[in-house]
């Protein structure tokens, strides 16, 4: 009871701070980042470096895969999803609900937080088999191509994240499948890492798009089905506390919090990736995937941890 009272008191204090000093529009206005679009054939270290220093909200790499390679991997993963895909549940005020996204394989953070050594070993055995299958793939696997690209072009190269205890690798990423109709029509706004932006480091995602829903598969009045929306936004620790009622909603799945975010955030940047494109973005900025009525979105997603002077770490 005492802690509930304390928590209610803290929330009331943060709400009164936000009412007096909060200003989300100013946090957005201070971030003038745009999307950098480059063809895969001309991608260079300077493009990656400017993304990693947060000078762009996203790096959209066109033609990373050929149309035939995208279609071939998309159909392989669609077929496997029927048997293997897992839907990770999200916590809301109504309890656990299924998210729009199903993955093939276990996310690295879920594996790392499992205290059972036997289950951790089983995860790493599964990853070893998957990596061997990528090396044996008759056409280069997109995750292998992504790792090569990041190793070649990142200032300090790229390596798979390894378990601190066993030194065995986590997977480089996971296939993600979303099938319409999606639960969130306009998309689920969130950040994957709530830390303030820091020019010397960051958490990024890399998505290789294998298949997108049709252009006319959107819900009424909501354009860009399956596209990405990113909100330029930059805040310090102090800004976070002055705007806590809105910014803390960025890690919440509650419909009420999503409504608060939609009302408060302005001026999103839209990206409509096509099959074969690669999009990298800093997941510390608010973002969402726009929902759709029908069809299936298939992508391969990795997370990247980038820090100045160190190799980029890739995992799922």
Give the shortest CB-245-to-Fe ion separation in angstroms: 21
Spatial contact of 239 and 23, defined as CB atoms under 8 Å apart = no
Who's near 276: CB < 8 A, 6+ residues apart? 62, 63, 64, 65, 66, 67, 69, 70, 209
Q: Is the peptide bond before 205 cis (omega within 30 degrees of 0)?
A: no
Give the shortest CB-283-to-Fe ion separation in angstroms: 5
Query: Nearest residue by C-beta to Fe ion?
Result: 192
Burial of residue 287, with CB atoms counted within 10 A of its CB: 0-12 exposed, 13-18 middle, 19 or more buried: buried
Give the shortest CB-230-to-Fe ion separation in angstroms: 10
Nearer to Fe ion, 59 or 242 (CB): 59
Q: How far apart are CA 284 and CA 36, in angstroms?
A: 17
Fill in the per-residue mask, 268 to 287: x = in contact with Fe ion (CB under 5 A), - = not in contact: ---------------x----
Residue from 31, 126, 151, 192 binding Fe ion (CB under 5 A): 192
Tell me the window of 9-17, 185-193, 273-281, 293-301 that interacts with Fe ion (CB under 5 A): 185-193
Question: Please, what is the Cα angle at 294 between 38 and 98, to 5 degrees?
Answer: 95
Who's near 301: CB < 8 A, 6+ residues apart? 173, 174, 176, 205, 206, 207, 316
Total interface residues for Fe ion by CB under 5 A = 2
Give the shortest CB-104-to-Fe ion separation in angstroms: 18
Who's near 148: CB < 8 A, 6+ residues apart? none
31 binds Fe ion (CB under 5 A): no
Nearer to Fe ion, 85 or 230 (CB): 230
Give the shortest CB-123-to-Fe ion separation in angstroms: 22
Give the shortest CB-33-to-Fe ion separation in angstroms: 17
Question: Please, what is the Cα angle at 15 between 11 and 21, to 5 degrees?
Answer: 140
Nearer to Fe ion, 261 or 283 (CB): 283
Tell me the window of 20-28, 132-140, 184-192, 231-239 that interacts with Fe ion (CB under 5 A): 184-192
Q: How far apart are CA 210 and CA 69, in angstroms?
A: 8
Nearer to Fe ion, 18 or 191 (CB): 191
Q: Which residues bind Fe ion (CB under 5 A)?
A: 192, 283
């Amino acid at each position: 009871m005492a802690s509930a009272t304390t928590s209610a008191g803290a929330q009331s204090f943060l709400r009164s701070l936000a009412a007096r000093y909060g200003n989300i529009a100013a946090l957005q206005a201070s971030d003038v980042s745009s999307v950098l679009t480059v063809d895969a054939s001309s991608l260079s270290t300077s493009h990656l470096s400017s993304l990693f220093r947060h000078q762009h909200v996203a790096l959209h790499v066109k033609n990373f895969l050929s149309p035939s390679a995208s279609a071939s991997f998309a159909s392989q993963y669609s077929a496997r999803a029927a048997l293997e895909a897992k839907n990770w549940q999200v916590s809301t005020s109504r309890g656990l609900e299924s998210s729009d996204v199903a993955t093939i394989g276990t996310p690295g953070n879920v594996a790392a937080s499992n205290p059972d050594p036997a289950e951790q070993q089983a995860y790493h055995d599964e990853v070893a088999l998957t990596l061997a299958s990528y090396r044996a793939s008759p056409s280069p696997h997109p995750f292998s191509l992504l790792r090569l690209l990041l190793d070649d072009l990142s200032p300090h190269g790229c390596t798979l994240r390894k378990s601190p205890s066993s030194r065995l690798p986590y997977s480089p990423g996971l296939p993600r499948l979303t099938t319409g109709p999606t639960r969130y029509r306009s998309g689920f706004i969130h950040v994957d890492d709530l830390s303030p932006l820091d020019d010397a480091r960051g958490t990024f995602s890399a998505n290789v798009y294998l298949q997108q829903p049709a252009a006319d598969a959107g819900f009424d009045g909501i354009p860009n089905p399956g596209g990405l929306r990113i909100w330029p936004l930059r805040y310090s620790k102090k800004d976070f506390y002055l705007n806590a009622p809105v910014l803390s909603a960025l890690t919440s799945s509650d419909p009420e919090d999503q409504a608060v975010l939609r009302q408060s955030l302005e001026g999103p940047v839209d990206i409509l990736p096509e099959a074969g494109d690669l999009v990298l973005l800093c997941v510390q900025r608010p973002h969402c995937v726009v929902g759709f009525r029908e069809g299936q979105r298939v992508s391969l997603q990795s997370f990247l941890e980038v820090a100045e002077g160190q190799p980029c770490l890739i995992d799922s």
